[in-house]
Amino acid sequence: MRIALAQTDPRLADVEANLAGIERTVAAALDAGADLAVFPELALTGYRLRDLVPQVALRLDRAGPVRDRLAALSERLPFVVGLVEESADHRFYNAAAWFEDGRLVHVHRKVYLPTYGMFDEAMDFARGRRLAAFDTRFGRAGILICEDLWHPTATTVLALDGAVLVVGIAASPLRGQGVGSADPSHLSGRQLAEVLARFHTVPMVYVNRSGYEEGLAFGGGSFAIGAMGETLAEAPLLEEALVVATVDPDRTRAARAAYPLVRDERPGLLARELRRIARGEGLEADEEDGR
């Protein structure tokens, strides 16, 4: 399976320009022999939208010119794209859509919205409430958006739900640590994904955008990692790129034969313990409130 990592640089709040760019990139990915193209978080809209979120939001539950163009594009090549999704009751989600064969297969709404330091996503977006794998023409897959990857349990849930591919998309601003002795508490996204791939014996692709918004530089540096943590492909830092990674399902099979970690996971035990902990801390009620 050949996956094109489409490390693009969207224009802020210009859906038409970004859609045209996505169409061009899909054509280029096809030329490069890809079976699937993966675009970054909010690739259709740009990242630092704030008050512009409602202006660029897309209804996926009914026909519309942008949704229909995306669906039509997937007749040429399946792809995953980050966008702002508006629900029927007008909540706005930082979401990722998997299109293939002319239809929308799955929408993942970002579950963990970073709202600290330089991030204020929970000001502008509603929290996703589901983590689920889904069937694609390549087998079962799962999608995570940026901060979702920093919560390792999200990958665990997808692996337990049968995902044999995890697609991570991001709009991650570059920020160095500023001192020679690197702070060991800051694992890079790359190290993090290698560990997640190995813990779950699952191939992971990570597509981060490039370009600048409001003084933020998005680092690029997209990559694909195999089920043994091995690097399959990497894109350059700080520039647009289209890199094709080959994910071999046989390598995943071999990894799972050697390390049956997913097989030996204990979802029932985990669910029981999580219920106990959630009850104790009053978090269950919080979830029921849908917050």
Contact of 138 with 131, CB cutoff 8 Å: no
* Nearest-approach distance from CB 212 to another protein, in angstroms: 5
Residue closer to another protein (CB basis): 115 or 153:
115
CB atoms within 10 A of CB 203: 29
Which residue type is seen at 202?
V
213 is known as an active-site residue? no
Instruction: Give the orientation angle of helix 152-160 with respect to helix 189-200, to 10 degrees.
Output: 30
Estimate the share of the chain in helix, then strand, then coil, as percent rounded to the nearest 5. 30, 25, 40
Q: Does 265 bind another protein (CB under 8 A)?
A: no
Dist CA 82 CA 170 (whole Å): 9
Q: How far is the CB of 14 from another protein (least distance, A)?
A: 6
Among 4, 6, 12, 141, binds another protein (CB under 8 A): 12
Judged by beta carbon, residue 173 or residue 226, the one nearer another protein is 173
Determine the Cα–Cα distance for residues 59 and 198; give it in Å rounded to an integer.
36
* Residue whose C-alpha is closest to residue 193's, from 161, 162, 233: 233
- Distance of closest approach, residue 101 Cβ to another protein, in angstroms: 34
The yes or no reply on residue 195 touching another protein (CB under 8 A) is no
CA nearest 111: which of 186, 182, 168? 168
Helix (H, G, I), strand (E, B) or coil at 237: strand
Please pick, from the candidates 20, 101, 212, 258, the single residue that binds another protein as defined by CB under 8 A. 212
Known catalytic membership, residue 146: yes
In the complex, minimum distance from the CB of residue 12 to another protein, in angstroms, rounded to a whole number = 5
Among 24, 31, 50, 68, binds another protein (CB under 8 A): 50
# chain residues binding another protein, by CB under 8 A: 28
Rule CB under 8 A: say whether 52 interacts with another protein: yes
If the CB atoms of residues 11 and 91 are measured against another protein, the closer one turns out to be: 11
Binding residue (CB under 8 A) for another protein from 1, 14, 23, 162: 14
